[in-house]
Amino acid sequence: MVDRGPAPDAVTNGRALRVLVVDDERLARERLIGLLRAVGGVEIVGEASNGADAIREVARRGPEIVFLDVHMPGLDGFEVARRLGEPPPEVVFATAHYHESLAAVEHLLKPFGRTQLAAILGRMRARLAPAVA
């Protein structure tokens, strides 16, 4: 599922942040996409259900932010993040299980809600401000 454009209230400095959602569980992808739409300020450019597809979709669609599940069959989220190319998009890991390695990176612990997602998106907008402005 791909959005063809942001909602009118989803514009940040004239355009929305381009986001790719990666999770092997369809319902988790749908829930995150629904939350992203509710929070606003993003354009969902694509989704992937496994690591190999995620790497291809990042190369093909050029998202600014990838919401990436940690536990997936085949390539896990950490391995996918290492293979995203240069310059890599911002990565937000989404997981039901905390890992010490997540302490230094953006992450969401499942289940999360709009408040946590909005906070992450605010930090991403600030980090990407020169590219978005």
Cis peptide before 6 (omega within 30 of 0): no
pLDDT band at 103 (very low <50, low <70, confident <90, very high): low
- According to the model, what pLDDT value does residue 65 have? 97
Whether pLDDT at 29 is above 60: yes
Residue range 76-94: mean pLDDT, rounded: 93
Average pLDDT, the chain: 86
Write down the domain spans for the chain.
8-132
Tell me what percent of the residues of the chain surpass a pLDDT of 70: 83
Q: 43-52, 57-66, 107-116: which has the minimum mean pLDDT?
A: 107-116
Whether pLDDT at 73 is above 50: yes
86 to 52, 59, 92, 120: CA distances (angstroms): 17, 10, 17, 22
How do beta strands 42-48 and 90-95 pair? unpaired
CATH class of residue range 8-132: alpha beta
- According to the model, what pLDDT value does residue 98 have? 75
User: What residues form DSSP beta bridges with 21?
Assistant: 47, 67
Whether pLDDT at 1 is above 60: no
Residue range 38-42: mean pLDDT, rounded: 94
Whether pLDDT at 52 is above 60: yes
| Strands (DSSP E) found in 58-124 | 65-69, 90-95, 107-109
By the 10 Å C-beta count (0-12 exposed, 13-18 middle, 19+ buried), 110 is classed as middle
In the numeric block, which tokens belong to residue 10?
């989803």
